[in-house]
Amino acid sequence: MNGDGVLLVAEGLRKSYGPTTALDGADLMVAAGEVVSVMGPSGSGKSTLLHCAAGLTVPDEGRVAYAGRELSELGDAERSRIRRRDFGFVFQFGQLVPELTARQNVALPLRLDGVSRRQAERRAADLMDRLGLAEKADARPGELSGGQQQRVAVARALITGPKVIFADEPTGALDSVAGEQVMEMLTDAAREAGAAVVLVTHDARVAAYADRGIVVRDGRSTDRLGSTDRLGSTERLGSTERLGVR
């Protein structure tokens, strides 16, 4: 397995919840700037793999390293700093704060990192403008469609300039048109920013937006595209190809 250019690596992850085994030796490698899909049936362990790789869940066994640093060797404060500044998150239902406007939701990661309200909201407004969300800046989540909420969630994930975006079923609650809009925005914005994306999905049409994919079954991971070199032997797809799916 070629390690050149690896930004995030998870190896031999095992995780159980009581008698239930969620991960049974799963691996994940992500290079800077690439989009990697993680597919698998419900209950296969794909979301647990994402949570362990992102430092949200501590595996029972195995290692996770980001930028050459073992997460298990870092203190709580440093792990939190990495999640806050270097990682972005998009979940299935957006998880926006209902009392805040869209702009305030996008600005929230900056506010949590100590940025002043005025500066954070100015940066959020600039990002929303670039992403075509300016007209929704003052709306609250309850006033937005599901697709609009997810696009705001994507903007929130991008606001800190993360190196890795973890997206767990980001289109799972959307229809096909809204899902395509969210995926176009997520992948195009991430590539423009040079951010990697770890994309958990059960939908092959969504997975087709990735450069490379793995499948998780019974807590174990395999390369979906069958390449022997996880970081490059499979030809990368441009934004206009995506395995023939748009």
The structural domains of the chain, with segments of one domain joined by +, span: 6-96+162-225
Token pair recorded at residue 245: 């799916």
Cβ atoms of residues 214 and 224 within 8 Å: yes
Ordered per-residue pLDDT tens for the chain, 246 residues: 344 588 999 999 999 999 999 999 999 999 999 999 999 988 899 999 999 999 999 999 999 999 999 998 998 899 999 999 999 999 887 789 999 999 999 999 999 999 999 999 999 999 999 999 999 999 999 999 999 999 999 999 999 999 999 999 999 889 999 999 999 999 999 999 999 999 999 999 999 999 999 999 999 999 865 433 333 333 333 333 333 332
Which CATH fold topology does 6-96+162-225 show? Answer: Rossmann fold (3.40.50)
Token pair recorded at residue 164: 């890795």
Question: Model's pTM, two decimal places?
Answer: 0.86
